[in-house]
Structure formats: C-alpha cells, structure tokens
Homo-oligomer: A and B are copies of this chain.
Amino acid sequence: MVQGQQFRQSFRVTDKVYNGFIQISGDNNPLHTNEAFAMSKGFRGRVMHGNILNCFVSFFIGECLPIKNVIIHAQSIKYALPVYLDDELEFVAEIEGYYESVHTYEFKFYFKNADGKKVAKGEVQIGVI
C-alpha cells in the first residue's frame, strides 16, 4: 500500500441494508422512514441514513485492503447529496499518506451515485496492528 494508491468498490443500499440499519440503530426518524415527510422536505423519497455509508467504509477497511491487521483510529464524513433506497454507489478511496513510524495510513474517499455525483466524501485513518 503506497501513497496515491486508489481503491474502488461498488455498494448498493438494498432493502436488507436499509432495514438492517434501522434494526441495529433504532433510528426511525421520519426523514428515513416516512415518504410523505421526506417529500414535504424537498426530497424525492425516504433519505437513507448517512451512517449506512459509514458501514460501507467499515467493510472497505476491514475487507478490501491487501492486509487484514488494521484498526480504524479516526474517520470523518461530509454528506453532500441524499442517497435513496436501491442507489448504486461507487466508492473511491486513495491513500493520502503513510506514516511509517506510527504504522498509520490516511485515506481520503468519496461516494458517487449512478448520476456520477459525489454524495459524500471523507477521510479515514487506520493503524496497522
């Protein structure tokens, strides 16, 4: 893993992911669960929980790197556009830096929807354990 290296992964916010997220989080906020409420706020349907994307970030760090001995130290995300049920997202991450003395990698990432628009971007810092 070297600076500038890119990784790509597809994710879909399926019914299983959406309903599973509600079950484990308990977050039934009407923006996420009430179509009429979400539309009254200017969205075209129920807005998926932003933290579903953080579940995808967890998968990326835990499962998609060439090494498995890693742990997340810190992460951040900014949401730019709503994500809807069944949206197909392309996740792109890039190694921003490697700090050898502390065995730490920093990634920046974004999620793009099927229209090619960035729906979220963020950073995640991991340690090699």
List chain A positions with a Cβ less than 8 A from chain B. 16-17, 20-21, 23-32, 41-42, 47, 49-52, 54-59, 61-63, 68-79, 129
Contacts and interface: CB of A to CB of B under 8 A. Distances in A.
* Minimum-distance CB pairs A-B, first 9: A29-B62, A76-B76, A20-B24, A27-B62, A25-B55, A74-B78, A51-B58, A27-B58, A54-B54
A59 B28 CA distance: 8
A31 B71 contact: yes
Nearest to A11: B26
B129 A41 contact: yes
A29 B128 CA distance: 13
A28 B68 CA distance: 10
A63 B23 contact: no
A59 B33 CA distance: 13
Contacts of A29: 61-63, 68, 70
B74 A77 contact: yes
